[in-house]
Amino acid sequence: MLCALIMAGGKGERFWPLSTDEKPKQFLNLINEDTMIQMTVKRIEKLIPIERIFVVTAKRYVNLVKEQLPYLPEKNIIIEPVGRNTAPCIALSAFYINKIYPDAILAVLPSDHLIKDVETFIRTIDAANKFIEENKDAIVTLGIKPDRPETGYGYIKFKETKTIIDNFEIKEVEKFVEKPDKQTAQNYIDEGTYLWNAGMFIWKATTILKYTYKFLPQTFEVLSEVAATNEEDFEEVLNEKYPTVDNISVDYAIMEKADKIYVIPSDFGWDDVGTWTSLERYREKDEMGNIVKGNVIYVDSSNNTIISNTKKIILLGLKDCIIVENNDVILISSKEKVNQIKDLKYICVGDKVV
């Protein structure tokens, strides 16, 4: 029984000040009228019915999930009391979903990525599901065929051995590697056996719980106790016990240690839409190369991204800048410094930068 688990607890700090702790990236309509999480659910609904789609999110975002996904059954919202990275929240969700759908296969998906070729994406997930049905202890991840030496992504190195299902190659994973420098990333592309790690996994719920037991025994013990709690006391016990689980990503905790991991080399127009400059690939530009949203006037300005929510923004003679106004904060940054934007929210105190 194939189910989807959409992870929607992240903060999206690289889109500050539009993305905030109160309303992070996955709840914003950065690309079109739909928010990122709405796009994600609509996409996977083409394969999995809504009653088998689950969202795991932080307690503070539950109302946003209900507001943006009103047709999602309330019982399908899994609440993480505190953030403890992806390994515990996936294990918590696996316990929860396996109670409802015993022997479930989970497609674990980020809530804030863009996929342009939805049909190919759906067929890829379906092929992964068929592989897991035949190889019940296996893990399948989707690796994106790189088209540039990207230093912001982790990589997956695959072996040449392969299985073919529905014309999709499924290859054994040799290793996962961390974000490289530019030259190393270019070497990966030249070698031709590396893919971008997109953070999408397909596995049986029991398989991820088996690996949690093996590699994170304390977390498994805590979550087992939570899962065994009756419905009336579940929330209280979860809130009490969950802060004691390990704080670690599923990549470090499990993917880098487990065996029987496979990857499908994928090409369906994936993008994690990670920075303000990534919007340039998808938002319409005017004749001067500007991306403009809101009350904006500009003169002799080009190649800027300008977003205003409430105030009028007037530009004169600027180029290659990012200007974003939201919640009484106005960010003005050169595109060259875009990767440092996520750090600004931590050094802005009142009216000062410290």
Q: How confident is the model at residue 274 (pLDDT cuts 50, 70, 90)?
A: confident
Contact 81, 240 (CB under 8 A): no
As a whole number of angstroms, the distance between CA 5 and CA 9 comes to: 12
Distance of alpha carbon 164 from alpha carbon 211, whole angstroms:
26
Measured between alpha carbons, how far is residue 82 from residues 58, 212, 263 in Å? 7, 19, 31
Token pair in block for residue 109: 């998906």
Note the pLDDT of residue 68. Answer: 98
How big is the chain by its Cα radius of gyration, in Å? Answer: 21
Bridge partners of 296, per DSSP, are 313
CATH number for the domain that contains residue 221: 3.90.550.10
Smallest CA-to-CA distance from 115 within 270, 232, 273 is with 270
How many separate domains does the chain show? 2
Same domain as 189, residue 104? yes
**Per-residue confidence band for 171, with pLDDT thresholds at 50, 70 and 90:** very high
What percentage of residues in the chain have a pLDDT greater than 90?
Answer: 80
| b/e per residue 159-183 (b: at least 16 CB within 10 A) | eeeeeeeeebebbbbeebeeebeee
The answer, yes or no, to whether residue 348 has pLDDT greater than 80, is no
CA angle centred on 242, ends 111 and 248, rounded to 5°: 60
What is the C-alpha to C-alpha distance for residues 153 and 199, in angstroms, rounded to an integer? 10
Rounded distance between C-alpha atoms, residue 180 and residue 153, angstroms: 8
Predicted model pTM: 0.92
Cβ–Cβ < 8 Å for 276, 15? yes
Which band of pLDDT confidence, cut at 50, 70 and 90, is reported for residue 227? very high
pLDDT of residue 28: 93
- In angstroms, the first-to-last Cα distance of the chain is 52
Assigned domain for 55 exists = yes
Tens of pLDDT, residues 125-144: 999 999 999 999 999 999 99
Write down the pLDDT at residue 281.
Answer: 87
Q: Same domain for 258 and 297?
A: no
- What's the confidence (pLDDT) of residue 214? 97
Q: Are residues 165 and 266 in the same domain?
A: yes
Identify whether residues 50 and 169 lie together within a single domain.
yes
Residue 354 lies in a domain: no
Domain co-membership, 285 together with 267: no
pLDDT at 354 over 50: no
Residues 17, 323 contacting (CB under 8 angstroms): no
53 and 172, same structural domain? yes
Statement: residue 327 has pLDDT above 80: no
pLDDT over threshold 60, residue 350: no
Peptide bond into 17 cis (omega under 30): yes
Q: Is residue 162 included in any domain, yes or no? A: yes
Residues 122 and 182 in one domain: yes
Q: Residue 321's domain spans which residues?
A: 281-348
Give the SS3 label for residue 205: helix
Cβ atoms of 115 and 269 closer than 8 Å: yes
More confident residue, 343 or 329: 329
| Residue 353 included in any domain | no
- 210: in domain: yes
**Do 19 and 10 meet the contact criterion of CB atoms below 8 Å apart?**
no
pLDDT at 347: 63
pLDDT digits (tens, 9 = 90+) for 65-92: 999 999 999 999 999 999 999 999 999 9
Residue in 47, 176, 17 with CA at minimum distance from that of residue 122: 47
User: Does residue 288 belong to any structural domain of this protein?
Assistant: yes
Same domain for 92 and 190, yes or no, is yes
Residue 276 inside a domain? The answer is: no
User: What value, to the nearest 5°, has the Cα angle with vertex 3 and ends 273 and 89?
Assistant: 65
Structural domain contains residue 11 = yes
| Whether residue 293 sits in one domain with residue 145 | no
Residue-level pLDDT at 134 = 95
Query: Is residue 262 located within the same domain as residue 328?
Result: no
Cβ atoms of 57 and 51 closer than 8 Å: no
DSSP structure class, residue 232: T
Q: Do 324 and 265 belong to one domain?
A: no
Average per-residue pLDDT in the chain? 93
Ranges 141-145, 195-199, 249-253, 342-346: which has the least confidence? 342-346
- The helix/strand/coil state of 57 is strand
**From 24-38, 189-203, 250-264, 334-348, the region with the lowest mean pLDDT:** 334-348
Q: Is the pLDDT of residue 169 over 90?
A: yes
What is the average pLDDT across 106-118?
Answer: 96
If asked whether residues 338 and 201 sit together in one domain, one would say no
pLDDT in tens, 298-326: 999 999 999 998 899 999 999 999 999 98
Tell me the average pLDDT across 159-175: 93
CB-based contacts of 203: which residues, under 8 Å, 6+ apart? 105, 106, 108, 132, 138, 139, 140
